[in-house]
Amino acid sequence: MSTPTTAPELQLLRADHASTLLAFEEANRAYFAATVPDRGDAFFRDFDALLGARLAEQATGDCFFHVLVDGGGAILGRANLVDVADGSAELGYRIAEKAAGQGLATWAVRRIRTLAVTAYGLTALRAATTLDNPGSRAVLTRTGFVPVADIRLDGRPGTSYALTL
């Protein structure tokens, strides 16, 4: 793993991210589907409505969606905290295929851990990944998450993780 030469910025999702976020999701759909459940055609067809719903969830504090943006405004990844309740949240993240292997996932998870405490007042995070996603398992381990259970994700064997902040 290398460290990114120029750290991107982790930005809270906004409505003006819509077109670049959709382009990011479309460009990486097949890449992501190899290791995480596909979002399905409805996600792309109904993107604007779904984005509006996500922003509404964020406004209530139920979720916090972030985009990893490079200096030119392109989205390189996402890092989200969902199902926020009782001081904890579920972490999810994805990095664009063209940006994989550059240390961005580790950087983003470390950054979101900091935000979880300082901006959102959380005390614990959960995450999960499939066994056939060694990169994600490595990121979670590298950033302090501990495996807690064997699970199935989208019909595939996986592991759930926990982290006390």
Helix (H, G, I), strand (E, B) or coil at 30: helix
pTM of the model: 0.91
Q: How far apart are alpha carbons 34 and 162 in whole angstroms? A: 24
**pLDDT single digits (tens) 7-25:** 689 999 999 999 999 999 9
Asked if residue 82 lies in contact with residue 13, where contact means CB atoms within 8 angstroms, the answer is no
Q: Which residues of the chain have pLDDT under 70?
A: 1-7
> What local confidence, expressed as pLDDT, does residue 6 receive?
63
Fold of domain 9-164: Aminopeptidase (3.40.630)
